[in-house]
C-alpha cells in the first residue's frame, strides 16, 4: 500500500455510492468525498457517517458536496451516478439517459482530478466505461468498469449453495458484458482445486449460469424499488483494494481492448492485473470454443450500444492513450 493517505471520491450519493463511501470511511481506507447533484443529500449522509466515526474508530474524513473542485487531488474516483432501469424503460432509453450523466461527470473528473484512476459502476456498465474513457481522454490504464467481480461473486455464491460448501473453496472468472450475455468461464472455475465440471453436471451448471445472469433482476423484483447495492459496493471496494495494495492482483474488470481476445476499440469484462497504476495488463486466458463464441456474442451487444451512442452524437471521440503514464 502506498505510504500516504488515499483520497477517494464517489460520484453519486444513492444506495451504491453511499454504501461504498461508508465502507471506505469505516474501514479507514481513505479520506472520502461524496458528490451528488443533490448537495444536501450528500452532505447529510456524510455528516451521518462522520457522527459514527468515534464509534467505528476511524480518523479519516468524509465530506458531502456538489462541487467538483472538492475532488481535486483524488487518487481514485468512482462513478455510481445514474438512473436504474425501470419497468417499461427500453435498453436504449437507459443508455441515452445515463450517457448524458456519465459524459458530464467524466468531463468534470478530467478537469478536477486529472491524475485519478476512474472506476465506473453506472449501467449499462461496459458502454458507460467506454464513454468515460473517451470523454476523459485518460490513459486506457486509468479507466475501468466494475462488473466481473460482482458477477463472479454471484456465481460463486450459487455454486457454493448448490454444493453446500464454503464460498472460499470456489474460484472463478466471469467475463464479457454485464448482463444476460455475461460469460462465466467454466473452464477456469474450480471447487477445491477441481474443475467445476467434475463436481456438477452440465445441466446443473447451466442452471446456475442462468440464475447468475438473472440475479440482479431477481433482487430488483424482491426489493420492489431500487436495485442491488451491498454487493456492487463491495465489488467496487475489492477493485479499490487491489489498486491500493499495489500487488498486481488479477480481477475481472471492464477494460479497453486493443487486440486482446480478438477485439479492438471496446470495453469488455476481462481478467486484468491491477496495481497502483490501474489496469497494467489484460490477462488472456485460453478459452474453450463455446466460451469464445459466447464472448463474441457478448461483444456484439456492447458494440451495438457504442454505435447507438455514436448515432446520437454522445461519444466525444479521442485517441485513447497507451501506457500507465
108 and 156 fall within a common domain:
no
Assess if residue 11 is contained within a domain.
yes
Q: Is residue 26 part of a domain?
A: yes
The answer to the question of residue 316 being in a domain is no
Whether residues 79 and 105 fall in one domain: yes
Contact 185, 298 (CB under 8 A): no
Mean pLDDT estimate for the chain? 93
**3 confidence band (pLDDT: 50, 70, 90):** very low
DSSP notation for 231-266: HHHHHHHHHHHHHHHTS-EEEEEEEEEESGGG-EEE
Which pLDDT tens digit goes with each residue over 237-266?
999 999 999 999 999 999 999 999 999 999
Hey, CA dihedral for 39, 112, 83, 157, is it positive or negative?
Answer: negative
Residue 318 has a CB neighbour count (10 Å cut-off) of: 12
Cell of 53: 466515526
Residue 206 belongs to domain with CATH number = 3.90.110.10
| Phi and psi torsions of 256, nearest 5° | -75, 130
Residue pLDDT, tens place only, 189-209: 999 999 999 999 999 999 999
Active site residue 178: yes
- 89: helix, strand or coil: coil
52: domain range? 6-145
Which has more pLDDT, 68 or 227? 68
Question: Any bridge partners for residue 120, and if so which?
Answer: 79, 145
The pTM score is 0.94
Question: Which of these is catalytic: 178, 244, 251, 266?
Answer: 178
- Residue range 124-165, pLDDT digits in tens: 999 999 999 999 999 999 999 999 999 999 999 999 999 999
Amino acid at each position: 500500500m502506498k505510504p500516504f493517505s488515499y483520497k477517494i471520491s464517489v460520484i453519486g450519493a444513492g444506495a451504491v455510492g453511499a454504501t461504498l463511501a461508508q465502507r471506505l470511511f469505516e474501514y479507514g481506507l481513505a479520506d472520502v468525498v461524496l458528490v451528488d447533484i443533490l448537495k444536501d443529500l450528500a452532505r447529510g449522509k456524510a455528516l451521518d457517517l462522520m457522527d459514527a466515526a468515534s464509534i467505528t474508530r476511524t480518523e479519516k474524513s468524509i465530506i458531502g458536496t456538489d462541487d467538483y473542485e472538492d475532488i481535486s487531488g483524488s487518487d481514485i474516483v468512482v462513478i455510481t451516478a445514474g438512473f436504474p432501469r425501470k419497468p417499461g424503460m427500453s435498453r436504449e432509453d437507459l443508455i441515452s439517459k445515463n450517457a448524458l450523466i456519465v459524459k458530464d461527470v467524466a468531463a468534470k473528473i478530467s478537469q478536477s482530478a486529472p491524475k485519478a484512476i476512474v472506476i465506473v459502476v453506472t449501467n449499462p456498465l461496459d458502454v458507460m466505461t467506454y464513454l468515460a474513457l473517451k470523454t476523459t481522454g485518460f490513459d486506457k490504464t486509468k479507466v475501468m468498469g466494475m462488473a466481473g467481480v460482482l458477477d463472479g461473486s454471484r456465481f460463486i455464491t450459487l455454486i457454493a449453495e448448490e454444493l453446500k460448501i464454503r464460498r472460499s473453496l470456489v474460484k472463478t472468472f466471469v467475463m464479457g458484458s454485464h448482463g444476460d450475455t455475461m460469460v462465466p468461464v467454466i473452464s477456469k472455475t474450480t471447487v477445491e482445486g477441481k474443475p467445476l465440471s467434475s463436481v456438477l453436471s452440465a445441466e446443473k451448471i447451466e442452471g446456475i449460469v442462468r440464475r447468475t445472469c438473472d440475479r440482479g433482476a431477481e433482487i430488483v423484483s424482491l426489493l420492489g424499488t431500487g436495485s442491488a447495492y451491498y454487493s456492487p459496493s463491495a465489488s467496487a471496494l475489492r477493485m479499490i483494494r487491489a489498486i491500493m495494495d499495489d500487488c498486481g492482483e488479477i480481477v475481472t474488470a471492464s477494460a479497453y481492448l486493443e487486440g486482446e481476445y480478438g477485439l479492438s476499440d471496446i470495453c469488455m469484462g476481462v481478467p486484468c492485473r491491477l496495481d497502483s497504476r490501474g489496469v497494467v495488463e489484460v490477462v488472456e486466458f485460453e478459452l474453450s470454443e463455446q466460451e469464445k463464441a459466447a464472448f463474441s456474442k457478448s461483444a456484439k451487444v456492447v458494440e451495438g450500444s457504442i454505435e447507438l451512442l455514436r448515432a446520437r452524437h454522445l461519444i466525444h471521440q479521442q485517441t485513447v492513450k497507451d501506457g500507465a503514464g
